[in-house]
Amino acid sequence: MVLPDQLVVQPHWLLPALSALLLVTLVLLGPGRAGTEHRHARKVALGLLLVVSAGNAGSAVRLVDGIVNGSVADQAGPLLAAGATIYLTNIVVFSLWYWEFDRGGPTARAAGTAVHPDLLFPQMANPEFAPAEWEPGYVDYLYLAFTNATAFSPTDVMPLKIWAKLTMLLQSVVSLVLVTLVVARAVNILR
């Protein structure tokens, strides 16, 4: 909603309206989601995440295309602001993907139904760092997404499953392309 129209998937109201509808549906379906899950709540949550991901991916593609063909960003400030918005949204989106898929999602994690983790956090590998019943919370996944986006690789959380490795790979590629092109163009404009 804060990006310039040329970077937003058109019509500009479609994705925010669809996101709002899915968010309201999710709230109505799953007020007690952490302990029990409505049978459709996970599908709605993943649908909402998919819509936000698609919107952000569309904006990233438009930004990269605009930088490459020279049709966007004749001023460094707005370019950096747009790039930062897409980059930070990308971090939040990927943190939610990790949150939703690690060991079957938040409800499955709380129930302890998964035998093996998808992502290995340091607290899981070294019992002296945390209580035996420690489980990652959302902030742990946000940290994972942030460090993966800034280091372009895993730092202390190791992906164990193929989906986690490919998701982290995709996040690193998107982050690397965004940072490289946006900063390079902004530096070029400043000269």
pLDDT at 152: 81
Cβ pair 37, 107 in contact under 8 A: yes
Of the two residues 111 and 173, the one the predictor is more confident about is 173
Instruction: Work out the average pLDDT over 112-117.
Output: 83
pLDDT at 172: 93
Helix (H, G, I), strand (E, B) or coil at 10: coil
pLDDT value at 34 more than 60:
no
Confidence of residue 126 (pLDDT cuts 50, 70, 90): confident
Of the two residues 160 and 78, the one the predictor is more confident about is 160
pLDDT at 138: 94
pLDDT at 102: 94
pTM attached to this predicted model: 0.84
Confidence of residue 31 (pLDDT cuts 50, 70, 90): low
Per the prediction, the chain carries an average pLDDT of 85
The Cβ of residue 1 has, within 10 Å, a number of other Cβ atoms equal to 10
Q: Would you say the C-alpha torsion 150, 154, 156, 162 has a positive or negative sign?
A: positive
Q: Report CA 133 to chain centroid distance, whole Å.
A: 26
Q: Let me know if 144 is exposed, middle or buried by CB neighbors in 10 A (0-12, 13-18, 19+).
A: buried
Single-letter amino acid, residue 110: A
Q: How far apart are CA 112 and CA 135, in angstroms?
A: 10
Confidence of residue 73 (pLDDT cuts 50, 70, 90): low
For residue 43, how many C-alpha atoms fall within 13 Å in the half-sphere facing its CB? 3
Phi-psi sector, 36: left (phi>0), alpha (psi -120 to 50), beta: beta
**What backbone phi and psi angles, to 5 degrees, belong to 158?**
-100, 130
